[in-house]
Amino acid sequence: DTAVSQTPKYLVTQMGNDKSIKCEQNLGHDTMYWYKQDSKKFLKIMFSYNNKELIINETVPNRFSPKSPDKAHLNLHINSLELGDSAVYFCASSSTSGGSYEQYFGPGTRLTVT
Amino acid sequence: KQEVTQIPAALSVPEGENLVLNCSFTDSAIYNLQWFRQDPGKGLTSLLLIQSSQREQTSGRLNASLDKSSGRSTLYIAASQPGDSATYLCAVEETSGSRLTFGEGTQLTVNP
């Protein structure tokens, strides 16, 4: 009955590799987000999708590409990984069509690039 | 550009004490404000959401207030317990379905 789930939870990889992180929500929300939490624990938005349409695209290297196959899923693909990409990546979702408007967060994916 | 500041950055209190965490934001045109809790190595747990038209929200021992005009919110924790030890994050949303802009958090330690 997990609300927002992410896989994998931990990801250790070498520089230059390509990797993907998957996110799924079963809350019926129409908007999904990717946030990055850096080593100083600061959380910052990367992308958001509403009904599969890209709404927010922050100043993120174009090595990062989000993909939303449907409203319940938002995946993050990262090409040519760099040391500075090491962080915790959080997926979140919310409803913009009524309700509490809270953003619900997944457990995070800790990415370590060596 | 919205900026969110949380004071203090860290707080250590004895068990049973009432405490207040502070959050301020630079642009008062917000849609809502959300308080989260983050335990070490874990995700974010939503504690309270205050919509821009509201002044406060309560959940158990937690009470959050919002003064939109002055760009401030407080999170009041009554009768603190060691289990309350965590990092508390304040975040504002400017329009429905837009980004949350986070503060850097207050790391709370409640000593038994």
Provide the 3-class DSSP secondary structure of residue A82.
Answer: coil
3-state secondary structure chain B: CCCEEEECCEEEEECCCCEEEEEEECCCCCCEEEEEEECCCCCEEEEEEEECCCCEEEECCEEEEEECCCCEEEEEECCCCHHHCEEEEEEEECCCCCCEEECCCEEEEEEC
Q: Which of residues 64-93 of B touch A (CB under 8 A)?
A: 87, 89, 91, 93
Q: Which residue of B has its CA nearest to A45?
A: B99
Q: What single DSSP character describes residue A85?
A: G
Residue B82 φ/ψ, nearest 5 degrees: -55, -35
Put simply, the answer to whether B97 touches A42 (Cβ < 8 Å) is no
Put simply, the answer to whether B87 touches A101 (Cβ < 8 Å) is no
Residue B4 reports pLDDT greater than 90: yes
Encode pLDDT of B42-53 as tens digits: 889 999 999 999
Cβ contacts (< 8 Å) between B49 and chain A: which residues?
100-102
Name the helix (H) or strand (E) containing A57.
strand A53-57
Q: Which of A71-75, A97-101, B38-42 has the highest mean pLDDT?
A: A71-75
Residue A2 reports pLDDT greater than 80: no
Cβ contacts (< 8 Å) between A43 and chain B: which residues?
44, 89, 91, 100, 102
- Residue pair A50/B96 in contact (Cβ under 8 Å)? The answer is no
Predicted local distance difference test score (pLDDT) of residue B99: 85
Mean pLDDT to the nearest integer, A20-26: 97
Residue A59 reports pLDDT greater than 80: no
* Phi-psi region at A29: left, alpha or beta (left = phi > 0; alpha = psi -120 to 50): beta
Provide the 3-class DSSP secondary structure of residue A109.
Answer: strand
Q: Cβ of A104 under 8 Å from any chain B Cβ?
A: yes
Per-residue pLDDT band at B21 (split at 50, 70, 90): very high
Per-residue pLDDT band at B20 (split at 50, 70, 90): very high
Structure tokens at B107: 């790391």
Put simply, the answer to whether A41 touches B87 (Cβ < 8 Å) is yes
Predicted local distance difference test score (pLDDT) of residue A66: 93
Residue B23 reports pLDDT greater than 90: yes
Q: How confident is the prediction for chain B on average, in pLDDT?
A: 94
Put simply, the answer to whether B97 touches A31 (Cβ < 8 Å) is yes
Cα B51 from Cα B66, distance rounded (Å): 9
Put simply, the answer to whether A50 touches B97 (Cβ < 8 Å) is yes
Q: Cβ of B104 under 8 Å from any chain A Cβ?
A: yes
- Residue pair B94/B33 in contact (Cβ under 8 Å)? The answer is no
Residue A98 reports pLDDT greater than 70: no
Residue B18 reports pLDDT greater than 90: yes
Residue B13 φ/ψ, nearest 5 degrees: -135, 155
Q: Which residue of A has its CA nearest to B48?
A: A102
Q: Burial of B11 by CB count in 10 Å (0-12 exposed, 13-18 middle, 19+ buried)? A: middle
* Facing residue for B97 by CB, picked from A40, A42, A96: A96
